[in-house]
């Protein structure tokens, strides 16, 4: 996803540069500004997604997450025991 956003950003920035080149003599830069802003937004989104994934990958599970997992495992065991007693 991050690579796709980077590619779309690069394409948008190239289109913006082309639009600015074409509009150099006329002074109508709306199309170029549009593609420039879209490219910047896609670039920022790709960077944020990449940073978020790296943060999640390098971050070890915290103690509270481990406790939550133990509690859900324990509740699942209790539920299965109750079903076994009812049968």
Amino acid 7: pLDDT:
92
* pLDDT single digits (tens) 50-72: 777 767 777 665 655 555 566 66
For the chain, the structural domain boundaries read 2-62
pTM metric for this prediction: 0.56
* pLDDT single digits (tens) 14-52: 999 999 998 888 878 888 899 999 999 999 998 898 777
Q: When comparing pLDDT for 9 and 80, which is higher? A: 9
Q: What is the 3-state secondary structure (H, E, C) of the chain?
A: CHHHHHHHHHHHHHHHHHHHHHCCCCCCCHHHHHHHHHHHHHHHHHHHHHHHHHHHHHCCCCHHHHHHHHHHHHHHHHHHHHHHHHC
Percentage of the chain modeled with pLDDT above 90: 25
């Amino acid at each position: 996803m991050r690579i796709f956003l980077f590619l779309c950003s690069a394409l948008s920035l190239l289109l913006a540069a082309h639009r600015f080149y074409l509009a150099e003599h006329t002074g109508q830069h709306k199309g170029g500004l549009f593609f420039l802003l879209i490219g910047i937004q896609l670039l920022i989104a790709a960077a944020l997604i990449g940073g978020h994934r790296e943060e999640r990958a390098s971050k070890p599970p915290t103690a509270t997450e481990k406790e939550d997992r133990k509690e859900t495992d324990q509740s699942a065991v209790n539920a299965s025991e109750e079903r076994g007693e009812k049968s």
